[in-house]
Each structure stands twice: as structure tokens, then as C-alpha cells.
Chains A and B, each alone.
Chain A
């Protein structure tokens, strides 16, 4: 064998990976497409209504406004001042305080985005699907398994109507790109995974009067809220389900009020362990008492570790992992003693042009891609990225995690869910 060629060039497995790598490079070169806001070319204008005009509703309006063929025609909130506030931000949106009245009056609505508090998802989702509207529902889908099943059943009964659930990781281009590496030999056998989210906040929202304040602070009510494992953790659990292509069988957890001793009973700091088959475990930590490290998910394999941080992603290779062809273009960032290869859509092109200085984030917030996927599914009759059936499983895991953390115990996931595929 000629010494001019590295031995692994002649290794069929290696060649296969190079081909896979070439595919990955293609996937990385999607930046120009991502950069410009997408439009639903060839589609009629999609009339959308927003139900729930709180802070997440504000973010949703901002991202929907970027999608060319989408028009927000109505906004609805039981709090009229909040609905009026949302309507002021959009040209031509009609205000409602009752979603049923909105559905009765505005027959031109094609799709509805439901961004009410989690415990108030069920009724508008079921009613909107019943009225023949496509629905995007924020995640987690519900705070009880009964509500989650009711939403999944309504989605199933709605036939070809799109019911999408807002687990944004699956629409996030960085996460999609990283998954192509994760599913290849670049990472190989998964050893363990972890996720954390830290943000220093009371999670308490001021309202203009006592009733509004009580309504706004549903997250602190254990009867209505899944707490950190549900409101935050379920998004990260869903990423793990999607990457590992399986659901955990068992979840253990614990939590406490470590700092915000303001009479709340819901934990401000939690930890959980999700146990998958073959012993792979996901460690989860979240806290409202510190912000250091923010949010990230980590997947460790024997060849590399992938770290995802919402708008950014990196791969940390083991020294003995095979060198891959595309690495010539790779941008790297130093993290103390470790060097991460940035997983960037379009990195190859930028690197060739000598423009890549360090990690480039997404050109839009993750929410944008999730809403765009929904709009495209509605316009083109495609399946949603995250169906209600898939979200039911993640929601079930989140409910179990919330219970485990609240009770400091171990919960077995319903075998009918644990034994199934995540999507």
C-alpha cells in the first residue's frame, strides 16, 4: 500500500464515513438559505391567530412577522389589555378575549398558535382543531397526562389538520446538523448524556393587579405547573429522545427551594436522572438561583462529544478518533483545555472565504424555525416536525420527571410509552 495515502482511505467503513461526511458538509452549507427569512413561496397567505398574548406570545408575534406569507389576523387573550397590547404591535389584527368567539367570527383563520399557560392549552387546542384550524401549541403540551392525551386524541381525530407542538430543538438547524454527526460514526457509541438550564430569576411575574398577578404566576403553583422539569426540562428531554431515538424507562429526581424562600413550594433547584435502555443515562440539572453556564445539552460518545447550546453547537473529538475530510474547513473554539469544532450551518463556505472568526449563531431565534416548520406544514400539507403523538410521549416523561423531582423518588415511565419510539 502506498504510503502516500492514509491507511483509512482504503477502509470501507472509513470511506463510507467520508461520504457521510460529504453529506454533512452539504448540510453545513445551508447558511445562505437560512440567512434570508424564508417565505412560503407559491402558497396563499396563511391567516394565523394567536391565543395567549403574554411574553411568549410577544416573541411569537415577532417571529411570525418575519415569515412573508403569514398574516396575523387576530389575537386573543382573556386579559383584554394584554390582547390590546399585542394587537397594537401588528397591523390589522382583531382583538378577542374569548377564543370561541374568535373562531365563530373569523372564518378566514387557517391556523392558530396557542401560547396560553401550559395548564390552559387543552381547551383552545381542542376547540381550534374542532373548528377545522391547524394548531401550533407551545410546549410542554399539558400539565396532566389527561390533558395531553385529550390533545393527542383531538389531533388524531382532526385528520389532515396540522397539530404541531413547540419542542423547538427538532426544528433548530444547529440541532439538526449536529444530529447528522451524532447519528454517524463521528460520535459512535453513546456513553452518557446530560442537560442543564440555569437562569437567575424568581420566576415570579408582576401584574397590574392582584388577579393578574395570581394568573401570571401559575408556574409557582404545583397544581398547575410541572415546574422546572416540565417548563424547561421537557424541551431538553425531547432533544435526548430525538437524538437517542428512544424514551427513558425510569426517571429519578429531587429538588428543593434553595434560594427563593418567598413561600413557594415548587422547587427552584432540581436534578433528575433519566435512564434509557442499555444503561445510558441523562443527568438533568436546573436552577432559578444561578445563571452560570445557561442552557446546554451534552452527548458523549467514544469518538467525540457533542455540546448543544440552543443557537450554537460544538463537537469535541477524542484524540484517537479518525480525522475526517471536512475538518480542513472546520472552525474551532477553545474551551479551557478543550478545543471544540463549531457546528455551524454554512461554516464551510465562510471558512473558505476566511471569514469565520469564531462561533456563528443562528440568524434567527430557534422559535422562528419551529413556527416556520408549522407554517410550511400548513401551507404544503406536510406532517408537523413534532406531532401531538410524539409530544405526548415527551410530555409523559416530563410529568414523570416533575413528580420524581417533587417527591424525591423514582418513577417508572408508562411501559406503553417507554417501549415506543419517540416519534
Chain B
């Protein structure tokens, strides 16, 4: 009962819970397409690559307004995705090599800029390193509103291009043969994932963002084989992980929010893998044990 009262009336808690749940919904929905296109680690790369963008945006404007920093992050994420595509398409370096290079060297450049800004003696720099591990507890109403607007835009785009994205995820050559510009659709989808990543950076930080795109989608996939149901479930799982993580970290001051969200999400993934009807590993093991017994009985 006390918890419920806190929920409704505590300003900070409401912002953190709302922000985390929102992030879960957006990254859960978009993560489905990333996972189905076997680009699960794209979010990881975009999150790391955003760091230099954030720092450059700050250096150029000297402002810490969320929208300016997020624009910088989006621009850097875009450049990273483009570079990655060029490496994969035109050289013999594999996709994983391209991911690894772009992720680590963009991040390294971001660290150079971050330490440069810190040592320049700016009293006002403190907000930037929050992006490394995220600072869900510091979310204010302005942040939540920004997240809601950007996330709402991304979800709307998914709804508008649902059929095209579906085709792209399951049979890209067929989509191309029907006359869809698969390149443009891929770029659009990547841009939407950039939005999800960018709103996630403030909450869970660079490293843990990868899990928020992959986890809900993988969990949802176990329960259904329909894309529409998978997206809805994935968004729900994302939101659930956000809420559970927030509540746990509120109950104990020393537990950081971002990691708690990810660990809750991991729990949901494991439960889904084991217990989902039909695909659950537990049922699989039971079926096999039953068969073994039947074969023995026949012998």
C-alpha cells in the first residue's frame, strides 16, 4: 500500500518509473525488427558510437539540454551505421569485425573528448559521464517528455511502415523484387533504432543498451510466431523489466537502476526460454524424457 502511494505521489519515482517503462516499450518494439534481421548487436554499436556525438554537441553548443545532446548522439550513430555498412559491403572484413571496430574506436574517441571536456575545468561537465552507466534516478520531467515525444514518433513510424518492415525482416529479396527500396527502408529502420538507443542512453547507459533491444524481442519470440503479437509482447516485456528494475532499485538505495533493469530483463528472458508453451526448454526436456521411457518400455 505504501509502495502504491509512493508510486502515485513521489515525483522522482514517477519520472524514473515512467521513463524506464517508456524506454522498454520503444526498444522492445523496435528490437523485434533488429533481432529478426539478425542485427541484434546493432544497438550495442549505436549506443557506443553515440558518445562522441554527445561530446561534440556539447563542445559546439556548451549546452546540456537533452535534445541537443540527443541530436548529437543520433548524428554520430548514423555516421557509425553508414561506415559499418560500407565496411561490410566493400571489404572482406566480416560483419562482426565491422561492428567491433566501429563500436570500440568511436567509443575511444568519445572517451578522448569526454576527458578533454572534464580536464578543461568546466564546472558544468558532470552531466556527460552519466551517459556511460546511465542515471535513471536523475530523470526529470523534461527528460520523460522528450523520451515520450521521440519514442512516440518512432512507434508511429513503425505502425505506418509495418507492412514494409515486416517484408524487409522476413524476405528482403522479395521486397526488392516487388519494387520496394530495401536500402531506404533499412536506413529508416536503423534511424528509428538510433532513436530508441538515444533515449536509452540516459537511463541505462552505453553498455547495457544492447540488452534492451535484444532481450524483450528474444523473450517475446518464445511465446508467439506472429510478428504483431511479438511486437506487443516485446514492448510489454520491456516495460515490465523497466518497472521491476526501478522498483527494486528504489527499495534499496545502493542498487543502481540501469543494471537492475537489465537483470530483471534477463530473468524474463530465461523464464520465457524455459517455460513458454511449445518452445519452452522445460517442455522439450519432459517430452524427450517421456519418449525415452516409452522406447524403453517397448524394448
Answer yes or no: do A and B interact. Answer: no
User: What residues make up the interface of A, taking CB atoms closer than 8 Å to B?
Assistant: none
User: What residues make up the interface of B, taking CB atoms closer than 8 Å to A?
Assistant: none
